[in-house]
Structure 1
Amino acid sequence: MNSIQRILHRRFFIKLFHWEYWSFNSVYLCLYPVWFLLCLRARSFFFFAASNPSIRNGGFLCESKKDIISIIPPQYHPATAFFSIPANGEMVLRDLERAGLQFPLIGKPNIGGRGRGVKVLRDEQDVIDYVRHAYLDFHIQEFVPWKNEVGIFYVRYPNQENGMITGIVGKEFLSVTGDDRHTILHLLQQDKRAIMYLASLKKIHGDKLNFVLPEGERMIVSPFGNHARGSKFLDVSHLADEALTHVIDKICKEIPDFYFGRLDIRYDTWEALKEGRNFSIIEVNGAGAEPTHIYDPRHSLFFAWKEIVRHWIILLRISRMNKKVGHRYLSFREGVAMFREDKEWSKKLAAMTE
């Protein structure tokens, strides 16, 4: 690697030349006037609460995963056990055994986002450690065996019988391929994406990063389909054909009053998913969901802005339709309280992620 390449592999320059790593406010700052105009059109700063009436705040912030899972037909999501804090690790293990959940498992905060506080639990000690550091109510669910993950953005206008897919993001988990000479850490240091998450990877893997992988062996170093956890997002919206749309529309219409959001799905093969087989919904995101196909490195920031605004307009239309049939927006006081609550949750999530 020459001197110029070494400079370009520094975090500052990687972030500078790749907008997908910019902060939320940096990306959205120029769009706030558009959001304000939409609020004026709705005559409410918190119109989004009416978009998905069966989900708290429409799924914009502070929604409970326990409440969301309760309205999803059980055949579509992984087996899950919920726990309130304070919790005892030994009692949690007994409850998991009674529920028939076996390792590996996934621990998640009941309120969260962007992969914060999510952890793979491989044995009983992992569960005990997770419970000990849980500052929020949490749930533990079975580890879905399917190797592929996709995020499908779905919308349906309340006055229409069928919905549509407005974006699909394919997810490539952060991984390295061995060469039988260099350590995993060295290989990660050559990858611009891995460099952006190196600190957290060191915390997760520790001394294991000093291991030398055999030539050609691939290791997934972050098995989470979150951009904030290292996954590469690819826009595969062109795959939204009639068969897939029919399957996703059928599923979403079985979720009461769900009109706008993104399904994060683990699946076996694309053909099986299109046939409604061998998949599991691991997350349902409502009004606060991003059309995450925008984070494809091939897309410009202008493309991202266009897609965000397009989805905001759809969100407004759906919310106004639901308002006309009796579903309410949040009052100004309720909206402010929601943001304050989210700020408190974020502090606790940060503590769980450390």
Structure 2
Amino acid sequence: MVKKFFERLTNWELWPFAVIYFPISFVWIWYIVRSRAVWFFTPSNPTIDFGGFEGEGKKEMYDQLPPHTVPRTIYIMHDLPFDDVKKRIAAAGFQYPFIVKPDVGMKGILFRKIDNEEQLHKYHERIPVEYIVQDLIELPVEVSVFYYRHPAQTKGTVSGFIHKELLHVIGNGEDTLQQLVQKHPRAKHRTEEMEHRHAHRFDRVIEKDHIFYLSYAGNHNRGAHFTNLHAEIDEQLHKVFDELSNYSKHFYYGRYDIKTTSIEDLKAGRNFLILEYNGCGAEPNHIYDCNMRLGEAYKEILKHWKALYEISKYNHNNGFPYWDFAKGYRFIKQSQKHFKLLQKYD
């Protein structure tokens, strides 16, 4: 326990979000003062609710991307009779396994891989909100690309490019799942989550060389491991994301989560699918897992906040006003209520 505590204390990447961001929060407050708007970021992506800071639905995001770049997706109301759910899924051509997740979700909460009808039934009975059924994309390479573009320009900046590896353990034929979790450098710091998700499997000995995925969500807060691909950022990559940004007309600031056959194919604009577009609430997650000192991470975050402020200010002055305080307050309260509900059922 002492060793684990010391590891968390000395590795800033393991600190709580609020602790990491508190020292630079005055800069965010300064942007609020300069723009005279608490929700100064809302025009950053004006066709997404709240600019994509939080609480936006996936449908509004998918509808603004080229159809061939997004996975097959259908939307299911949580109170639909299960027989009708099965009919809708069959009519859309889905076969097990596939992915389910809330239409309005965050941080990988209630993200599940569904292998059979029994799992689907349990998920449908449990989830309290509308959710999506989506193809399980098994392309071998998962990446995130952070991109921003000033609205007055046609070319933007790819500021971050990372490879993502899902949280997993590899069996040795001797240790139980619980023992493997306790030995894993990341999973051991997520004891409560691992117990919640996998306690019923903890006594299982994982066969040698078998990969057991502890989470299918490629998020830092779900324990995914990132590898910085900054050296791969070039004119080809910029061209792909300039085209995507201009296709959707008003995607100016955010992060694309993508699966592809290879980095080379992504740069050539082929063989990739966009799993998510995260708007102005997206963290520049390329600050993690690249041996950045905390000061360097702050410098990167502040660079992105400056771009966010400038994009939002321009759009505010050109037909997309800041949300007023009351509208934003109502939205964020509803979003927080929704988030707490999802956490309760995760």
Task: Answer yes or no: same fold by TM over 0.5.
Answer: yes
Superposed CA RMSD? 1.7
Matched, 1:294 2:275: no
State the alpha-carbon separation in 1 of the partners of residues 132 and 184 from structure 2: 33
Deviation at 1:297, TM superposition (A): 5.5
Residue pair 2:228, 2:290 contacting (<8 A) in 1 also = no
Question: Which of 100, 110, 116 is the aligned partner of 1:123?
Answer: 116
Most deviating of 222-231 and 46-55 = 222-231
Question: Which of 12, 17, 22 is the aligned partner of 2:10?
Answer: 17
State the alpha-carbon separation in 2 of the partners of residues 84 and 217 from structure 1: 36
Residue pair 1:20, 1:297 contacting (<8 A) in 2 also = no
Matched, 1:327 2:305: no
Amino acid across the alignment from 1:113: M
User: Following superposition of structure 1 onto structure 2, how do residues 101-116 of structure 1 map, counting pairs within 5 Å?
Assistant: 101-116=94-109
Give the equivalent residue in structure 2 for 1:344: 337
Question: Which of 134, 153, 170 is the aligned partner of 1:160?
Answer: 153
Deviation at 1:248, TM superposition (A): 1.9
Give the equivalent residue in structure 1 for 2:228: 235
State the alpha-carbon separation in 1 of the partners of residues 95 and 114 from structure 2: 10
Deviation at 1:175, TM superposition (A): 2.1
State the alpha-carbon separation in 1 of the partners of residues 175 and 302 from structure 2: 45
State the alpha-carbon separation in 1 of the partners of residues 83 and 7 from structure 2: 44
Superimposed CA distance per residue, residues 138-184 of structure 1 (whole angstroms, 9 cap, x where no aligned partner)? 11111111132111001111111111201112212122223333223
Q: TM-score, normalising length from structure 2?
A: 0.94
State the alpha-carbon separation in 2 of the partners of residues 199 and 46 from structure 1: 34
Give the equivalent residue in structure 1 for 2:181: 188
Matched, 1:93 2:95: no
Amino acid across the alignment from 1:58: G
State the alpha-carbon separation in 1 of the partners of residues 189 and 80 from structure 2: 34
Give the equivalent residue in structure 2 for 1:313: 306
SS of aligned partner of 1:311? helix
Provide the identity percentage. 34
State the alpha-carbon separation in 1 of the partners of residues 121 and 208 from structure 2: 36
Give the equivalent residue in structure 2 for 1:254: 247
Residue pair 1:90, 1:128 contacting (<8 A) in 2 also = no
Deviation at 1:261, TM superposition (A): 0.5
Deviation at 1:277, TM superposition (A): 1.9
State the alpha-carbon separation in 1 of the partners of residues 224 and 18 from structure 2: 21
Superimposed CA distance per residue, residues 197-253 of structure 1 (whole angstroms, 9 cap, x where no aligned partner)? 243334333444433344444333323211122211232222111111111221222
Residue pair 1:61, 1:338 contacting (<8 A) in 2 also = no
Matched, 1:68 2:61: yes
SS of aligned partner of 2:214? strand
State the alpha-carbon separation in 1 of the partners of residues 120 and 135 from structure 2: 13
Give the equivalent residue in structure 1 for 2:171: 178
Superimposed CA distance per residue, residues 95-135 of structure 1 (whole angstroms, 9 cap, x where no aligned partner)? 01111111111111111211111111111111111111111
State the alpha-carbon separation in 2 of the partners of residues 226 and 26 from structure 1: 19
Question: Which of 114, 138, 141 is the aligned partner of 2:134?
Answer: 141
State the alpha-carbon separation in 2 of the partners of residues 14 and 222 from structure 1: 22
Q: TM-score, normalising length from structure 1?
A: 0.92
Superimposed CA distance per residue, residues 70-114 of structure 1 (whole angstroms, 9 cap, x where no aligned partner)? 111210110001122322222111101111111111111111211
Give the equivalent residue in structure 2 for 1:264: 257
Deviation at 1:55, TM superposition (A): 0.8
- Unaligned ranges ≥5, structure 1: 1-5
Amino acid across the alignment from 1:261: G
Residue pair 1:18, 1:297 contacting (<8 A) in 2 also = no
SS of aligned partner of 1:192? coil
Amino acid across the alignment from 1:254: Y
State the alpha-carbon separation in 2 of the partners of residues 323 and 221 from structure 1: 43
After superposition, the Cα gap between the structure-2 partners of 1:190 and 1:329, relative to the gap in structure 1 and judged at 3 Å, is same
SS of aligned partner of 1:247? helix
Amino acid across the alignment from 2:280: A
Superimposed CA distance per residue, residues 250-269 of structure 1 (whole angstroms, 9 cap, x where no aligned partner)? 12221131111000001121
